[in-house]
Chains A and B, each alone.
Chain A
């Protein structure tokens, strides 16, 4: 537990409805610098929506998101500034398919940060080295495996120099044998002190690097606590059921 660290992200009373359907109901939590929080829960319970509410790709109906002490909800056009400091990694990678791996990482530096080309290329290359893909710099997304694409997308997010990284089921679209390489990059990242919020059912990852697990069901936080507590002795029967079900399904990777 990183008790002395300042709070980077505070999510307060987030509500989100799609029509009549309540997707998120009064969600609150906070993340301190260097912490990794893993959000788990059945599909369709609003985990992805919650991540998108954090960087305002989806606007919450009510509630406030604070990043480093600044209210970023309803920040208007400044949101483009804010989003630079929140990296996001998607389930489907979402690499720009007309650009090489290097250009994918470099584009934000050139067009958003207005860096000059030489500096941007160096920075982009540094990030590709960090995810172990320097030899794939010239490859296009279609020429990369899913695991490689996801690592490029992590590099793309890191290049912007984020204070916080959001991962939306980063390994769910991957073949089992490719999951490990992405998790390895994420573990390194967590250990290097990056602040991370990860939606994932990779319990092995949760066990080894995360500080707190948040279990969401039907738009509300059912239970949150350290992995030791949730895996060992959860307060709610529902948490226990869900974790054991996941363990059955993902048992292999769960033990990694």
Chain B
């Protein structure tokens, strides 16, 4: 069977997996986004215990392998009565892990917002909370886009690790198909292309977004 014919034949199965991969990516990057903003703000502005907790969280999730985290969530929790499906465990694992990295990107962006602007906001009578919402966050979201798009791409690719806990995503589908037809080289070549195309599309979308919300003079300090 020629490569093209083979590709055509295995495509439906792979695309089914690709859909799960995208679902995993979107859900876990969103979870990581919300948690990441909270962790960054907590680390920078929280009272000492809050700040320490956030720092500890970030260090733990950055300092241990994603695969270990996934295995703990999926195989480690059932004895304690928490039984997660492989899909949910995948989202949680990838999301909790991504939150730690995103928090650090957000922290960097927040720290590049000028302290003087915060002082100016306080001087016109804004509370600290209002200054964070109205001055820091709008700048942070713009400044962080370039580094954040890296995190999105990583998350998409690292979601392949979820196959280890049996989530029916792209890698799992590929492994399954290849085990049937023994065409490992071709199958994984197609898989690589599917990831590549997805990454290219996502980074295009983000660079369009970056241009859309761009404000003259506002970017990560060089």
A141 to B142, CA, bound (A): 16
Looking at the complex, which one of B123, B125, B139 makes contact with A97 (CB distance below 8 Å)?
Answer: B139
CB distance from A97 to the nearest CB of B (A): 5
Name the residue on A nearest B126 (C-beta): A112
Give the contact stretch, choosing among B18-26, B150-158, B195-203, B213-221: B213-221
List CB contacts (< 8 Å) of B120-166 with chain A.
Answer: 120-127, 130, 134-135, 138-139, 142
In contact, A142 and B218 (Cβ under 8 angstroms): yes
When the two chains form their complex, are residues A112 and B122 in contact, meaning their CB atoms are under 8 A apart?
no
Query: What are the residues of chain A within 8 A of B81 when measuring CB–CB?
Result: none
- Judge if A68 is at the interface, Cβ distance under 8 Å: no
Q: How far is the CA of A55 from the CA of B216 in the complex (A)?
A: 31
The count of A-to-B residue pairs whose CB atoms sit within 8 angstroms is 79
Q: Shortest CB–CB separation between residue B208 and chain A, in angstroms?
A: 19
A122 at interface, CB cutoff 8 A: no
Most A CB contacts (10 A, CB to CB) among B123, B135, B217 go to: B123
Contact A107–B134 (Cβ < 8 Å): yes
A111 partner residues in chain B, CB cutoff 8 A? 126, 130, 134
Q: Note all chain B residues with C-beta closer than 8 A to A95.
A: 117, 120
Complex: A108 Cα to B134 Cα, angstroms: 10
Q: Is the pair B123, A55 in contact by a Cβ cutoff of 8 Å?
A: yes
State the Cβ distance, A160 to closest chain B Cβ, in Å: 6
Interface: B77 (CB within 8 A): no
Q: Is B114 an interface residue (CB 8 A)?
A: yes
In the assembled complex, which residues on chain B have CB atoms less than 8 Å from the CB atom of A108? 124-126
Q: Which of A26-34, A78-86, A207-215, A222-230 contacts B (4 or more CB under 8 A)?
A: A78-86
Give chain A's interface residues, CB within 8 Å of chain B.
55, 57, 77, 80-84, 86-88, 90, 92, 94-98, 107-108, 111-112, 140-143, 153, 156-157, 160
A-B contact pairs, 24 of them (CB 8 A): A55-B123, A57-B122, A80-B125, A82-B125, A83-B124, A84-B124, A84-B125, A87-B123, A94-B116, A94-B120, A96-B120, A97-B139, A97-B215, A97-B218, A107-B124, A112-B124, A112-B126, A140-B216, A140-B217, A141-B217, A143-B217, A156-B124, A157-B123, A160-B125
List the 8 closest pairs (A to B, CB-CB), nearest first: A142-B217, A94-B120, A94-B116, A84-B125, A108-B124, A88-B123, A83-B125, A142-B216
